């Protein structure tokens, strides 16, 4: 499924991110495992869902296990993007007990956060099903985890907005205020910007008043963001843009309001909550000790 | 207040963390500001609360602003740990417009997350007011942000559990399962561990059955964790421990259940949700453009 | 001028890049300066053009000087993007002699390379003056220096193509060959890609045959690249595209051929040579020793 | 051949350099490959010379391929230092199509630059064949790539000058100017420097006037650099030095002038152009898709 | 033995530490091996003790060998913590001659320093045998090597004090002086600190006068350090503490004085010399060249 | 004095080294200072010698103080290379009490180790006074601290051998053994190496038998090392070399034997003990609390 539907997690830096997280969690060793567990003990364990959700980060979970000790083998039972019920087994791990328990918390922290985002995203996506609107993320991500969190949004069926300040223009209210204070006309500024920007750079401008729509759209933007317009004004905005640019709705989007917003005909609904307010999904690692049993039954 | 009540944010690595976040958010420049804003434009702005809460990270917010451009000056209006109402001004910023807007999102992402944790923590702390129990965090933190998130917990009035796997022992169910499978007696294992551990290392063991309490406590632990005991069994557990070790309650702790748990006489209540499920607090940056007005209204 | 015409050099990582270059050039100190020069000696120097050209990187030159010793002051005499004649003074430096001479080579290596690129770019831009075509760069940059080299292209009046594999799609001959081998229809693949890609991602496809144009353009690309078409076929290609996408010419572009290519009506001419074959411009640092003269007259 | 003639590329830091280049070229993934190519598609490809030259960096090319995906296998067909004709196959690659195409540009950028330097060096070396002079490089290298570029010079048959400011002394015109301004006698300064320098540190001084030769050589230098002397004065200079030190010619060295300079009897001719003005050699990656053909013809 | 007695070397960062040491020792290659040794030559060698001692770091020695070239195989003959006589073979290495000789010095530098510490520690531990006192280290370690040096202390039979300023409190004379200057009562300060500190944080206070003991101990510390008390006063101090806290002796501890100190009944004797004044143990690498002999006989 | 006699500590990487040491010593803050000391408390302190010695690293000490908090001011009372008696004040510090105490241990660890090396070196240098021999260091340095330790040797009046494997050739017994096993003649190998090596690379070969001297010296080495020859054989060796190369004595060098070795006429005596077996000099930080006194007496 990830073959066709979900682009894989970007590799560059992933190992470094995991190693940094592991070092943060054990800067000079895992004193519990080293003290209590025989070096020769092995453990097998399952990653289990304690509540239903959408999976994201099972590969990150597995990679974390492997980076602690190459002798650990982790196998996914489901692929990212899959929905699961409470109790579902998501992955299996087998390796030296000290390594598995030393990696446990970091591996869980990552997959729980990513699956939390995917699950929340999926609920928004489901809420707008059948409309022409796409639910997209924002730059309100956790510092250091943006690539993973954007991937999690894709796992939940959402779309990605720009990745960073470098790859697309989004002139927001604060930019417009500076322009205005400097006495620069917005329409002119956009025309000039278009001329100077690289041809691959997407150009989007945020407006919060109807009278800004025409000057912005006629200057040639790729997307216009209508901020805090509400369903009624959004519908009028979509009509005013008249297909000359993509229309993005933002502001005041909740699971309760998103469908009404999507039904106005906007192309995009951006939802900061997907990343800044998702809670970690409740996943756990249940040990199945080889020699003699035990575990968490 | 931070002078007496809240230990400051640990410095080592803070600048590096912020720089990494800034690079993530603008790997090759801020194309919007560079295209739309005159290099000479200046901006002043205020960090405003859009909902009530407890502040944490105002220094991180300010440092982020300064790291983008040393010509930016950011001043806190409140100190970390302070409660505020919606509409409160938390900090002021003044500097080159390009720098302020380029730093905005990263600075907000950090202070919103930290204040979200402080605010959630404060609600748990308030819920147990008057009992002898202390609300403490866990290792369920965002990879890369542990020091900041533990600081945010302190800002909210909570306490910190161990920082990492390196600085204290916490033998959990999975460790006990490995021990059992290896045929090692728990009491003996603890006695032996105590003998070998450095004298500064705190030793804690988690149990989920009453009959584990005596062998664990009599072996000489500093803290015993009673996992998922529920109020009634907790009360019995506290009696069984009889002051020979600190008692920590964990599992099933919510804002609804925490007071009943705290009233059982336990010393510590650990709450993973403080960090893994806090949502970002709604804070915003409102521009007050110097030359000629503007802003957000 | 950089205020309106040239976006500034992206800051994140610039200091780190310079520090790495300085460490490469003096991993354990500058044995010549430390042995021959009194610690108290000061030096003033000028960055002089030994041939005409277009300036790029004067800020990087200055920053390199300052990073070796904060007591060094470097001032630009011209701004990036300015043309200059042989003999022109481009910048002035004043500071401890040991620091100035220790920084000299690294500072020169950077500004010489960047100005070489700007100068070469300017000659291409001049060659197409009056046509509707824009000269743009490629990803054929020096590993580690991409942001600086793309900036140098802008200083020379050129435009930037995508920055990296992450921020825009460019399906090239090798991608198409894989698709074909996998039995995937190109038109269908593009339609599907558009559906899945983030809305800010620019979509470009390279073709090397006329019969590929219609399936590609009708699938909805932002830009079509006509590879190695030559002026005549380019003109026909532009007609076939008929304004439905930007047209980029690539392959076989030299200072001799570029005008004929530009006159075919294409929107973009991409030139790998701008970065992979620019030679360093001949700039030098002439010392003006304070106490008693000397220097290079 | 590299066994006897060319010392291998220094390993420390090579992987890090490549990883940094890969991250620069795809900070958050390769959106083209991830969108267009099936994850299961495989590709085989050949590194082909589009013009004649001397090979350098085939191991770096291969290592880049492998670092993107350990499942990729790259094999050299020629060894570094070998000459080849246009059309020659230099290396073969086989691996996941996404990995091969994601690595392509970075791998090419490196081997093209290195082979460009080796090829230019070889032309200088050939030009002085039969004389006693050795063509050597300078510190005018690309920041971050010095070890690779010095290696490329060796592949072209050239010699290496000092690596950095740390490992040998080279007092140049600017140092002498500072000394003079400080009222320090050059001969005395050299004698004193020799006394203080570690015994393994090579000591070289640059002069641009005949009357400087005797004081410098009699003070005991290892090498004297005659800067911009021209063939006639060089011949006289060599006679004046009379074997008491190595003689290095620098300044004004081009492919046209180098032989006349070499024939004056100097030991070394240093050529900044070897590294600062070599253009990338035209090498390409031609795909040979397994299932069903394709490729570039 | 390391299974039960000695916790393993903390992994996070170990490879990075070794790589940094290797880069320091060969920033751009090993010119001797590359020039003198055939690339195909192989070497086998033994790590030999030239004096008796206690082993520590044999795994670090082996890992260093492997990191230079994965084709090198290093095998320990003894485990860390083992005592050996002069002439003992501690490990064996087999691999490419260039790699083995390039790694030799760094590998030796590490294992010699670590074994030097283990050997010195063992002599202190032996000196206190039969008493109740444990010999522990301090923070007087080599910058960058703390985790390795603390591990070496464990190999020698010693115990570890706190790892860093972050994981335990140790209020020393200088802290007390600041408190006193600020007019803060020590007893009160400790009581307040205990209330605020995380429950896992060990709390220790240093005193240098008898009259400080009661206020400190009655405030509830985990350990009290009696600095420079000498045997007689230590005995009195132990009696005054009366089991309410651990007692640590520090200051003036040498191999001559340590037993008398230990016999006073203190729980801990901290010895800075274990790490700041251990000399490198004399270990060497003896080559056993495969084809034809040679070596060091 | 450092102006003429001692080259300064190499800067590149020094701050990074110190920051790494500070992070090692306080990965998440200094819990003692943060808990016990008022944020507003200030402290002044002196770096005091508790035993006589030679100073090295006072700048590193000061820089460490400043890097913790830019508000701290540290001033040297003596310069590196100066001798001092017990009780001497070496530097003064003034700043926030929390910063001074947080930096104390790292700053001391560095200056104590460096001054220990300088002091030991000075004793060797004094022992050979009046002979023609120079005492030099080896590569037996602490991993990560080589530049600092070589600098410390210079402060003690010693000389530096090569810095690393990259900047000079030293073919040792193990290299010769590999050569011999490969059937390569040593004389021929040296002649060939000389031809291929860069002209700035110092070439040294170690021998342990008299009959190796002539083949080595006649091949054209810069230095010949006579390993473990003892005074008598050294004298003969010096005669045999007859000024054709520098002669270095190594092996079995102690404070007792060094003078006899130096009197044989060798040019260099290399002493591994300078760095691998120097103990930290006893230096301390005595607080002089501003408000009201305190301190250590």
Residue E212 contacts F where some CB pair is shorter than 8 Å: no
- What is the 3 state secondary structure string of chain B? CCCCCCCCCCCCCHHHHHHHHHHHHCECECHHHHHHCCCCCEEEEEEEECCCEECCCHHHHHHHHHHHCCCCEEEECCCCCCEECCCCEEEEEEEEHHHHHHHHHHHHHHHHHHHHHHHHHHHHHHHCCCCCCEEECCCCCCCCCHHHHHHHHHHCCCECCCCCCCCEEEECHHHHHHHHHCCCCHHHHHHHHHHHCCCCCEEEEEECCHHHHHHHHHCCCCEEEEECCHHHHHHHHHHHHCCCCEEEEECCCCCCCHHHHHCCCCCEEECCHHHHCCCCCCEEEEEEECCCCCCCC
Nearest-Cα residue of chain D relative to residue E40:
D3
pLDDT at B293 > cutoff 60: no
Are the beta carbons of A29 and E13 separated by less than 8 Å? no
Beta bridge partners of E223: E204, E246
pLDDT at F284 > cutoff 80: yes
What is the pLDDT confidence band of residue A147, given thresholds at 50, 70 and 90? very high
Beta bridge partners of C250: C227
- List all residues 6 or more positions away from D100 whose beta carbon is below 8 Å from its beta carbon: D43, D45, D65, D72, D93, D285, D287
pLDDT at E293 > cutoff 80: no
What is the arithmetic mean of pLDDT over C41-49? 96
Query: How many Å separate Cα C136 from the centre of its chain?
Result: 9
The residue with greater pLDDT, A148 or F7, is: A148
Cα–Cα–Cα angle for A242, A248, A253, nearest 5°? 135
Q: What is the pLDDT of residue C2?
A: 37
Structure confidence by residue, pLDDT tens digits, C207-227: 999 999 999 999 999 999 999
What is the pLDDT confidence band of residue C293, given thresholds at 50, 70 and 90? very low
Q: What is the pLDDT of residue D112?
A: 98
Told to judge if A206 belongs to the known catalytic residues of this protein, a careful annotator would answer: yes
Q: What is the pLDDT of residue D27?
A: 93
| Burial state string for C144-175 with b = 16 or more CB within 10 A and e = fewer than 16 | bbbbbbbbbbbbbbbbbbbbbbbbbbbbbbbb
Interface probe for F, chosen from C15, C27, C28 (most Cβ of F below 10 Å), is C28
pLDDT at C12 > cutoff 80: no
Q: What is the pLDDT of residue F8?
A: 72
Told to judge if B227 belongs to the known catalytic residues of this protein, a careful annotator would answer: yes
What is the distance between the alpha carbons of residues A82 and A139, in angstroms, rounded to a whole number?
25
Residue A294 contacts D where some CB pair is shorter than 8 Å: no
- Domains belonging to chain A, first-starting first, are 11-125+279-290 (3.90.1170.20), 130-276 (3.20.20.70)
What is the arithmetic mean of pLDDT over A148-176? 96
pLDDT at E7 > cutoff 90: no
What is the pLDDT confidence band of residue C288, given thresholds at 50, 70 and 90? confident
Q: What is the pLDDT of residue B287?
A: 92
Residue A75 contacts B where some CB pair is shorter than 8 Å: no
Q: What is the pLDDT of residue D7?
A: 67
What is the arithmetic mean of pLDDT over F250-261? 96
Which residues in chain C have their CB less than 8 angstroms from residue F146's CB?
Answer: 28
Q: What is the pLDDT of residue E290?
A: 59
What is the arithmetic mean of pLDDT over E268-280? 97
Q: Choose the closest CB to F198 out of D161, D198, D267.
A: D161
Q: What is the pLDDT of residue F232?
A: 96
Which residues in chain E have their CB less than 8 angstroms from residue B168's CB?
Answer: 167, 200
**% pLDDT > 90, chain B:** 91
Judge whether B35 and C159 are in contact, CB under 8 Å: no
Structure confidence by residue, pLDDT tens digits, A262-273: 999 999 999 999
What is the arithmetic mean of pLDDT over A19-34? 94
Q: What is the pLDDT of residue C10?
A: 63
Complete DSSP assignment for chain C: -TTTTSPPPP-TTHHHHHHHHHHHH-TT--HHHHHHS-TT-EEEEEEEESS-EE---HHHHHHHHHHH-TT-EEEESS-TT-EE-TT-EEEEEEEEHHHHHHHHHHHHHHHHHHHHHHHHHHHHHHHTTTSS-EEE--S---TT-HHHHHHHHHHTT-B---SSTTTEEEE-HHHHHHHHHTT--HHHHHHHHHHHS-TT-EEEEEESSGGGHHHHHHT--SEEEEET-HHHHHHHHHHHHTTSSEEEEESS--TTTHHHHHTTT-SEEE-THHHHSPPPP-EEEEEEETTT--S--
Q: What is the pLDDT of residue B96?
A: 95
Q: What is the pLDDT of residue C47?
A: 98
Q: Choose the closest CB to E12 out of A27, A31, A39.
A: A27
- List all residues 6 or more positions away from F239 whose beta carbon is below 8 Å from its beta carbon: none
What is the pLDDT confidence band of residue F9, given thresholds at 50, 70 and 90? confident
Query: Distance between the two ends of chain D, CA-based, in angstroms?
Result: 33
What is the pLDDT confidence band of residue F154, given thresholds at 50, 70 and 90? very high
Q: What is the pLDDT of residue A11?
A: 66
What is the arithmetic mean of pLDDT over F128-142? 98
Q: What is the pLDDT of residue B13?
A: 84
pLDDT at C72 > cutoff 60: yes
Told to judge if A167 belongs to the known catalytic residues of this protein, a careful annotator would answer: no
D140, D194, D235, D244: the active-site residue: D140
Residue F267 contacts D where some CB pair is shorter than 8 Å: yes
Structure confidence by residue, pLDDT tens digits, A184-193: 999 999 999 9
Residue D70 contacts A where some CB pair is shorter than 8 Å: no
pLDDT at C168 > cutoff 60: yes
What is the pLDDT confidence band of residue F5, given thresholds at 50, 70 and 90? low
What is the arithmetic mean of pLDDT over D264-281? 97
**% pLDDT > 90, chain C:** 91
How far is the alpha carbon of F272 from chain C, nearest alpha carbon, in Å?
20
Q: What is the pLDDT of residue E2?
A: 37
Q: Mean pLDDT score of chain F, rounded to an integer?
A: 93
pLDDT at D8 > cutoff 90: no
Residue A11 contacts C where some CB pair is shorter than 8 Å: no
pLDDT at F292 > cutoff 60: no
What is the arithmetic mean of pLDDT over D134-161? 97
Q: What are phi and psi of F95, to 5 degrees?
A: 175, -170
Interface probe for F, chosen from C29, C64, C97, C106 (most Cβ of F below 10 Å), is C29
* B-E C-beta contacts closer than 8 Å: 64
Q: What is the pLDDT of residue F11?
A: 66
Q: Choose the closest CB to F174 out of E101, E165, E182.
A: E101
pLDDT at B297 > cutoff 80: no
ipTM for this prediction: 0.94
Tell the residue number behind the tokens 């460790």, with chain if given. Answer: B175
Listed residue (E221, E222, E223, E226) closest to E211, CA to CA: E226
Structure confidence by residue, pLDDT tens digits, A39-60: 899 999 999 999 999 999 999 9
pLDDT at E295 > cutoff 60: no
Structure confidence by residue, pLDDT tens digits, B101-151: 999 999 999 999 999 999 999 999 999 999 999 999 999 999 999 999 999
What is the pLDDT confidence band of residue B161, given thresholds at 50, 70 and 90? very high
Nearest-Cα residue of chain B relative to residue E221:
B200
What is the distance between the alpha carbons of residues A257 and A229, in angstroms, rounded to a whole number?
12
Judge whether F253 and F233 are in contact, CB under 8 Å: no
Judge whether C271 and C136 are in contact, CB under 8 Å: yes
Interface probe for E, chosen from B81, B153, B200, B246 (most Cβ of E below 10 Å), is B200
């Amino acid at each position: 499924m990830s073959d066709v539907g979900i682009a894989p997690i970007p590799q560059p830096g992933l190992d470094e991110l995991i190693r940094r997280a592991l070092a943060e969690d054990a800067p000079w060793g895992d004193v519990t495992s080293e003290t209590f567990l025989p070096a020769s003990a092995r453990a097998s364990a399952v990653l289990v869902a304690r509540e239903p959700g959408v999976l994201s980060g099972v590969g990150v979970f597995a990679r974390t296990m492997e980076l602690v000790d190459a002798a650990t083998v982790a196998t996914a039972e489901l692929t990212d993007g899959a929905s699961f019920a409470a109790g579902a087994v998501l992955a299996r791990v087998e390796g030296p007990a000290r390594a598995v328990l030393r990696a446990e918390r970091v591996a869980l922290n990552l997959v729980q956060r990513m699956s939390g985002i995917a699950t929340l995203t999926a609920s928004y996506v489901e809420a707008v099903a059948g409309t022409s609107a796409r639910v997209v993320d924002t730059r309100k991500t956790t510092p250091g985890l943006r690539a993973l969190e954007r991937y999690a949004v894709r796992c939940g069926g959402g779309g990605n907005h720009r990745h960073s300040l470098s790859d697309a223009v989004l002139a927001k209210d604060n930019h417009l205020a500076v322009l205005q204070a400097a006495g620069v006309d917005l329409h002119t500024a956009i025309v000039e910007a278009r001329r100077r920007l690289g041809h691959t750079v997407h150009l989007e401008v945020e407006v919060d008043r109807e009278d800004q729509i025409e000057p912005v759209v006629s200057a040639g933007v790729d997307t216009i963001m209508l901020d805090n317009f509400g369903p009624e004004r959004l519908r009028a905005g979509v009509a005013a843009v008249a297909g000359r640019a993509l229309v993005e709705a933002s502001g005041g989007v909740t699971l309760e309001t998103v469908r009404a917003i999507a039904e106005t005909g906007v192309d995009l609904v951006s939802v900061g909550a997907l990343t800044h307010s998702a809670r970690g999904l409740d996943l756990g690692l249940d040990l199945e000790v080889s020699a003699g049993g035990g575990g968490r039954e």
